[in-house]
Amino acid sequence: MNHSRFHIAALWSVSLWPGLNFLHSNWPDVLRGGWQSVWSVIAFVVGVALSAHLLYRLLRQRGGYLVLAWVAAVGMFFGYLAVREFFLSLFAWLNPHIPPGFGWLGCFALILLGAYRWRKSDHLRIAATTFSLVAGAAAASMLLITMAITPSVASDAVVPAAPRRQAPSRPVNVYYVILDAYGGRHAMQTLDFDNSPFLAKMRARGFRELSTDRSNYLKTAQTLGAIFSLDYTFTADTASGIDLRLMYPTMFDHAQPPALIAALEGDGYDVWFSDTVIIGCPLHHVSCLRKTRVVDSSYMLQTFLATTPIGRLLLRWLDDRRDAISPLVDRLDTLVASSRPIFMFAHHLSPHPPFTLDASCKPRMSWESGMGVPTQNDREGYLEALRCVNRRVEVLVDRIIARDAGAIIVIQGDHGPGLKIRWDAPMNTWTEAEISERASYLNLVRAPVACAPALDHAMAQVNTARFVLSCIEGRPPEYLPERTFLSTYDTGPERDRVREWHPATAVAP
């Protein structure tokens, strides 16, 4: 019996399997960016499948072995990070002074040799072919189901309305900079890192440190959504769960702008974004320093390949495009010369992992690392990225003060590092220490003297945004009670759950 058709179908199925799984898991981003945002992922897996197909034709009578070897190769390639982490722990115990990536290479070679040794086993060939066909079909089915049940962003979503106030008589420019995962004092204490020299330099430049060490949310999309809504968009009382249409950045896809943007437009402001590769620039209501309006295809490809041996190398392509500060520095003179006041929002993707830059903002990747993929709990990598961010922030702030001394400047983390939090565990099992480190964030504000009395207490992100709006409108701020909400990145039963955090003990100010 000629099994070639089954073998070819199996090779295509197992080659497409990782890409289909990736699209299924990231469908909200795919939906927002459209198919053009993932063309590189599709091209990569189709190229892998074509290579397997051509190799099968060349091997002819050894096609059964190829299916067996190809399943092992695909599994090892996309399972690189898990295998490397095992050898990282093993080599740390044995202390052989060998990069963990070489452990993966040795394991890969043994598996391919084993596949060749048992190439004539009908049972193994049938098992590999069956697994490939089932895995590909299951991934395709899950993607189709997700596509069918995921709602598109609708213009009738309920977006919180902005309070209408009088337009400012003497408008000031605003620079609102989010430093992704930049921790506050409690996080620095947990990491045993002294950040006081940087904070002292910022105080000397007129900034006040206002962190409560209790971020309003632990996830970027929710924190930024709350900033632009001027309110707690998701609470423990949210009956319908987490509505993606009210999250950042999809909240910008409606005909009606978010509350903060609507208020700024009413006050005569031009709203600008310094976008980064991870989400691009919002589709509506803002102007962009760059032209990336949707999820970037190169970012999608790097994310897809992040757990593979070449994932770390691809990070070099994205370092400049994770930087939202440099484009702002470069365009500052043009922005300040505008005839209308500006609100500039910059989302800088550092010190969030992957930690690809050292303290001097130079690439910290090397062959000695054994093609190591940056991991979430890399303390030294996080601190190196933090030092780099500090350097860039000082340059930015000095430039703004020199060109636009009367501006409001906010340098803020959207949450803390979260190097300890167990995202795959139920939220009710998270410890106070885990939550406290993730909730601790940086909040530095520099504002005109007339607004200074309102900066008499610590505040989190929502109230910081409310302060900014009140300052430019010349009125007393209307602060909300400070609250912190938890939610997980896990796709399990708690995916759409939000819990309010009431710490058992107060976090040190």
Report the distance separating Cα 191 and Cα 379, nearest Å.
7
pLDDT at 193: 95
Q: Lowest-pLDDT range, 186-200, 281-295, 323-337?
A: 281-295
Task: Find residue 151's DSSP bridge partners.
Answer: none
Task: Examine the pLDDT at 246 and tell me if it is beyond 70.
Answer: yes
Q: What Rg value do the Cα atoms of the chain yield, rounded?
A: 25
Task: Please enumerate, as own/partner, the contacts of 423-426 that have beta carbons within 8 Å and a separation of 24 or more.
Answer: 423/488, 423/489, 423/490, 424/490, 424/492, 426/494
Phi then psi for residue 36, to 5 deg, are: -65, -20
CB-neighbour burial class of residue 218 (10 A; exposed 0-12, middle 13-18, buried 19+) = buried
pTM (2 decimals)?
0.80
pLDDT at 317: 64
pLDDT at 381: 87
Q: What percent of the chain has pLDDT over 70?
A: 82
Where is mean pLDDT largest: 132-141, 292-301, 392-401, 427-436?
392-401
DSSP assignment of 23-56 equals HHHTHHHHHHH-GGGGHHHHHHHHHHHHHHHHHH
pLDDT at 329: 94
Q: Which residue has the higher pLDDT, 356 or 180?
A: 180
Phi then psi for residue 484, to 5 deg, are: -130, 130
Contact 478, 263 (CB under 8 A): no
Structure tokens at 218: 């632990």
The tens digit of pLDDT for each residue in 14-60 reads 999 999 998 888 887 777 667 777 888 899 999 999 999 988 888 76
pLDDT at 106: 84
The tens digit of pLDDT for each residue in 343-379 reads 999 999 899 888 888 899 988 764 444 444 445 568 8
Residue 496 C-alpha from the chain's centroid: 18
Contact 223, 216 (CB under 8 A): yes
The tens digit of pLDDT for each residue in 125-136 reads 788 888 899 999
Q: What share of the chain is helix, strand, coil (3-state, %, to 5)?
A: 50, 10, 40
Structure tokens at 294: 């949707």
- Comparing C-alpha atoms, which of 288, 282, 322, 281 is closest to residue 303? 322
pLDDT at 195: 96
As a whole number, mean pLDDT of residues 238-259 equals 76
Residue 63 has a CB neighbour count (10 Å cut-off) of 21
The tens digit of pLDDT for each residue in 58-69 reads 876 565 678 888
Compute the Cα dihedral for 15, 20, 23, 24 and give only its sign: negative
- Comparing C-alpha atoms, which of 388, 403, 408, 399 is closest to residue 345? 408
- Comparing C-alpha atoms, which of 285, 249, 227, 234 is closest to residue 469? 227
Q: Which one-letter DSSP state was computed for residue 357?
A: B
The tens digit of pLDDT for each residue in 32-42 reads 667 777 888 89
Report the distance separating Cα 279 and Cα 300, nearest Å.
10
pLDDT at 500: 92
Contact 289, 274 (CB under 8 A): yes
- Helix and strand numbers (H, E) in the chain are 17, 9
pLDDT at 369: 44
Q: Lowest-pLDDT range, 94-103, 371-380, 473-482, 488-497?
A: 371-380
pLDDT at 332: 95
Mean residue pLDDT across the chain: 83
Domains of the chain: 4-149 (no CATH), 174-500 (3.40.720.10)
pLDDT at 162: 47
Beta strands in 263-364 (DSSP E): 270-274, 287-288, 342-348
Structure tokens at 185: 């004092």
Helix (H) or strand (E) holding 204: helix 196-204
pLDDT at 238: 58
The tens digit of pLDDT for each residue in 285-316 reads 888 887 655 566 777 777 788 778 777 666 66
Q: Which residue has the higher pLDDT, 416 or 114?
A: 416
pLDDT at 390: 97
Q: Lowest-pLDDT range, 272-281, 308-317, 407-416, 419-428?
A: 308-317
Task: Examine the pLDDT at 392 and tell me if it is beyond 90.
Answer: yes
Task: Examine the pLDDT at 455 and tell me if it is beyond 70.
Answer: yes
- Comparing C-alpha atoms, which of 187, 228, 197, 210 is closest to residue 393? 197
Report the distance separating Cα 330 and Cα 509, nearest Å.
36
Report the distance separating Cα 329 and Cα 321, nearest Å.
14
HSE-up of residue 347 (Cα within 13 Å, Cβ side): 22
Q: Which residue has the higher pLDDT, 410 or 428?
A: 410
Helix axes 4-25, 39-59, angle to 10 degrees: 160
pLDDT at 449: 92
Task: Find residue 412's DSSP bridge partners.
Answer: 178, 443
